[in-house]
Amino acid sequence: MEWVRNFLRYRAANTFLVFIGLVIFFSLLTPNYLFVDRRNLAALGKLFPDLGVVALGVGVLMICGEFDLSVSSVLPFCSYVFVRLLYRGIAPFWAFWVALGVGALLGLLNGLITVKTKMPSFITTLGTMMFWRGVLYIWSKMMPAGIRNLVPSGSPFERAFAGTVGSFFPVQALWFALFALILGILLHYHRFGNWIYATGDNRDAARAMGINTDLVKTICFMIVGVLCGFSACMQAVRIGSFAATQGIGFELRAIAACVVGGTSLRGGVGSMPGIVLGALTIPILDNGLILLRVPVFGISAFIGIATILFVVLNSYVERKTR
């Protein structure tokens, strides 16, 4: 039983168990086993990375001890930048890079405001969230802006962000996996990852050991910004349009995903496997409940219960294993 105990000591283990439980539950109980239907899985694989990619960055940021509530504004903002550039006749490839750049810039701003004012990022990014949303609403007049004819279905760019691999596997899920892999290596194998953990776990110690914690935090904010830019373009290409409502609610859902994956709200604790599982669990919960005919507007209630249960479970397991 030694390996069982070792496995359970791993913080992401209970998320993994609950995840498997949910998959089995939904597989067996949805009408006509709809959950494991090929089309449902394909749709899930297309949709979940929108939030998932953002959540990966938010998780890394939480490990270094900060939050970013502005993702729900940075994302549509980047999307609008992308669409406007397309309208000006810029090739999608370049517009995409500019959108990532804008994401990085807004992330940099979040980081600078947070480390320079020494305010909790919960407040600073609440401010930037409202600010950028206001700017975006004025700039875009909240009108949707279609890009179907600028990024036609079947074009290389469209296939790279909204296509399928081997006629079935949604490419979005591959992007998610790629980012998870890169950030996982960064977090667990690269020296910068150790600085992220140290910064979140004990900032004074990290500083005393010569780590520039302000820089570490700012870079993490920028990672989140870039991922918002990426997700923005991916989503815009999939729905063939900019929508002012893109990304709404992502700020808290991303945090919920990370918490479900065992990331601490106080920083210093969390892992990439956990964050990935969290980013999968929330959409699966969504999807499964919809298939179970739970009214769409009530699903939020279940996500809320699930988040709280996970936090309680995580801290219980933590106390047991220590």
Partner 1 sequence: MERQNGELLVRMVNIHKWFGRVYALRGVDFEVYRGETVGLIGDNGAGKSTLIKILSGYHQADQGEIYFEGQRVRISSPRDARKLGIETVYQEQALAPNLSIARNIFMGREPVRRWGIIDRKVMNEESMKALANLGLRLRSPDLPVVTLSGGERQGVAIARALHFKAKLVILDEPTVALSVKEVEEVLEFVRQLQREGISVIFITHNLYHAYDIAERFVVMARGKKMADVKKKDTSPEELSQLVIKSAFAE
Residues that bind partner 1 (CB under 8 A): 185, 189-195, 197-198, 201-202, 204-211, 268-269, 322
Comparison of 203 and 238: residue with beta carbon closer to partner 1: 203
Q: Which of residues 96 and 195 has its CB atom nearest to partner 1 in the complex?
A: 195
Q: How near is the Cβ of 34 to partner 1 at its closest, in Å?
A: 41
Least spacing, CB of residue 310 vs partner 1, in Å: 18
Burial call 140-155: b when 16+ CB within 10 Å, e when fewer: beeeebebeebbeeee
Q: Output 64 or 279, the one with its CB closest to partner 1.
A: 64
**Shortest separation between residue 264's beta carbon and partner 1, angstroms:** 8
Amino acid at position 181, single letter: L
Question: How many Cβ atoms from other residues are within 10 Å of residue 84's Cβ?
Answer: 17
- Name the nearest CA neighbour of 82 among 145, 25, 20: 145
Smallest gap, in angstroms, from Cβ of residue 271 to partner 1? 11
Comparing CB distances to partner 1, the nearer of 168 and 189 is 189
Which one, 141 or 191, has the nearer CB to partner 1? 191
CB of 198 to partner 1, least distance (A): 5
Burial string for 191-210 (b: 16+ CB within 10 Å, else e) reads eebebbbbbbbbbeebeeee
List beta partners, residue 241: 146
Please state, in angstroms and as integers, the Cα–Cα distance from residue 128 to each residue in 16, 36, 67, 83, 101, following that order. 34, 40, 12, 22, 17
